[in-house]
Structure 1
């Protein structure tokens, strides 16, 4: 049962735990008050574009703006305290998961729990003990519906042990993806692996086999792709969400990192930039603006990436 009654916009505040549930409440309260986003914007004194991110669950309203929204939709002040506690609870979950965006916090938290309970944590630790990545390159494909549908990955790895094995963990960019429908497409250097992932709740893991037996100290080149198309669903459904960022999160200094985002020529973004965050929740450090090349791609390269979030962020033109 949903935490929010969209008709009345009157949820049980104690049942709100995720940013999406809070977003559903805000949108339900707006509709219950008979307000458009424009009308709510005028009453609350908050830009419409900002409110849009709140009601879609893409960002979390600061406490002061949250109170202004409650007042603007006409909720009685005697309910504000419990709703403020609900908002603070959602923020604590987000901060505790170290997620880059609040909308990913619940997925990340559930994913970490699922990994631990399923025994995947041990398998992932074993993989890190057996293989070290010394070069990482990604080519991200964004379609005309503004969604990431495929990522091509090229890596050079060094085997730390004989008969090394490699396990790729996928934390989904959206909690609405059908992870069982993710597909791994092996390329040069990869052995035959099952195309479907091992799925436990909100985590998918692909065992990647090498096309030869590796000895300790041996360097090997592999190429593979993760295909999201089947997991996304049909355009226009709730599972199809526009992407605005892609990148890598490093816990420590990592190998040379190359990232390219390839956009569909029919729908091109604006204000594309290379970013770096010292921590997933820290302010964005805009490294530099990026121009699209003749093939409608944006490219970045970091020779010695430090711990933190390295990536490319873009904005879509208004529809």
Structure 2
């Protein structure tokens, strides 16, 4: 059965989601720029990184607003701030939410933080939004309908990634920190030209959409990225013509119980995606052999 034959209507969901996105970004900005900025109450001891009052306030708003329309009986809610346990949610339709991706960048005032909300159907994203509060832009996509950028003024532009020729050097977008030695060795051996340093995963993927970068790589070490880091960024990239897969080039799967995405993930504007995946696998095999 096609997605369009199933409840909910994704176009209607998108209308709700865009409203929620702007509302959540306003909350994040109120903490980042406004009266609340000196009262973040950051919990630096959280195992997976710091959490602030801004994360919690945005999360509370997103869940309350979505649940008014999308019943928790029919829709699962997998959120960074409320996730518990290691069992997959039983619903076919699951919202995957990161109210503040890039909390460290938020605290450090780099501006490179983002909002991620995706709706998945049977473990794959079908509707997604990545919000950039400081740029005052939303990026959104519905499966099969393309990727769009919306400004606060209401201007909507369809986006398409720009591929590069086989001979052009590729630019890697990467964090300023968070690199263990194995990941550093991997990216040092891959054929990249420039490196573009950006915070949140959502912000990194947006640089590929906007033609500032070509490739983003995630490689788990002692820890791993989570479902809510990738579900929304994946769909906006692929709907703009990019590619987002595990290193073995299979689709990324969500809501499996363990929210951690172990292994390697390659996200590109489509330029040499398969070749980069194959090279990454070969390089890691060499590294692991010592």
Q: TM-score, normalised by structure 2?
A: 0.26
Higher RCO (C-alpha 8 Å, min separation 6): 2
Q: Which has the higher strand share?
A: 1
Larger Rg: 1 or 2? 1
